[in-house]
Amino acid sequence: MIKRVFLFIFCFILIGSFFPVFAKNSDIPEVAGTYNDPDHPGVRVRVFVHRIKPEKGKPTPPNPLICQLPDPESSSQVAAENWLLPVQWTYNLNPDSVPSTVGKDNLTIMAENDFESWSQATGNRIIFTKGTNSTTNRQSLDYQNVVAWGRTSGTALAVTYIRYYPDNNLVVDVDTIMNNKFPWSWSNSMTCAYQNSYDAENILTHELGHWIGLDDMYELSYQDATMYGYGSKMEVKKTTLTDGDKIGAYTIYNQ
């Protein structure tokens, strides 16, 4: 029997257009909904759109480091989706795609930190292992599980593609593409961020939460959670998981 593969897409996106915008490497719009994957017959694609408000009519000021930012706690339990990662999961990074303002050598540090945080949140039910470096900066069903910077259509900050078998809900392939069209930085801090750019680890931590099966949350009661569905400049609070993030992750793998 041929197994069907489902594909879910998560993306941070700026408000600005409410019309479908199509990616260059497929005809899957970055607009919330469910679609047929034109590149993989029988595969369904669910698109999740994450929006933030853009600054309009303002000149770009210098990019100072701002510290003593709040990192509030939240006990609101994050909801789960349908998929599960296998116990052992290997990911591959593309350091050469990383913006110079973040630093190619820092991608490994960020990824190891974030995967370890999510592994602990599951009760160490998932063991993440770094594979070889990749040159890929596009999503595809290639079993590489890539984290890279590349081009995404429209105004998405980052897009995560989840492919899984619906008969057993096991993930078969995941890719996260960070949009290189936006200003990025990395403060290497839980309370400091650069004012006029997006902190790479802040956004990446959120995206990796989708890998283990967590959904986007948009209610105000989740605004301090890592899985809150809006991203902002000068934000690092997503880097640390809240109790609600941890409970959501633990529940998925310990039922």
Coil, helix or strand for 199? strand
pLDDT value of residue 61: 56
Distance CA 220, CA 160 (A): 23
In the predicted structure, residue 91 carries a pLDDT above the cut 70: yes
Residues 6 or more apart whose Cβ sits within 8 Å of residue 206:
12, 226, 227, 228, 231, 238
- Residue range 206-241, pLDDT digits in tens: 999 999 999 999 999 999 999 998 899 999 999 999
Distance CA 61, CA 37 (A): 41
Residue 217: count other Cβ atoms within 10 Å of its Cβ.
23
Name which residue leads in pLDDT, 110 or 60.
110
Coil, helix or strand for 14? strand
What is the radius of gyration, based on Cα positions, of the chain?
A: 17
Residue 25: count other Cβ atoms within 10 Å of its Cβ.
13
In the chain, domain spans: 6-56+63-253
- Residue range 11-44, pLDDT digits in tens: 654 433 333 333 344 566 666 555 666 776 655 5
Structurally, what CATH architecture does the domain formed by 6-56+63-253 represent? 3-Layer(aba) Sandwich (3.40)
Coil, helix or strand for 207? helix
